[in-house]
Amino acid sequence: MTKGIDRPDEVYEALIELHRGLDEDAGRRADARLILLLAAEIGDAETLKRLITAAREET
């Protein structure tokens, strides 16, 4: 069950800020670190695998 994002504009701004001053490679490493941190917050392997599948289904 997706919770949705509280204060989405604030979160979106923070996600852009994550990349401030980083070159592309450093930015992608930061994204990867964030993915792992979020995965640890979610914890449940089945949920994570479902989200990973959804991420590949670009429409």
Binding residues for another protein (CB under 8 A): 2-5, 8-9, 11-13, 15-16, 18-19, 22, 24, 27, 31, 54, 57-59
Question: Dihedral (C-alpha) 38, 45, 50, 47: value to the nearest 10 degrees?
Answer: -70
Q: Least distance from C-beta 47 to another protein, angstroms?
A: 14
Q: Least distance from C-beta 45 to another protein, angstroms?
A: 20
CA distance linking residue 38 with residue 36, whole number of Å: 5
Element (H, E) at 12: helix 8-17
Q: Least distance from C-beta 31 to another protein, angstroms?
A: 8
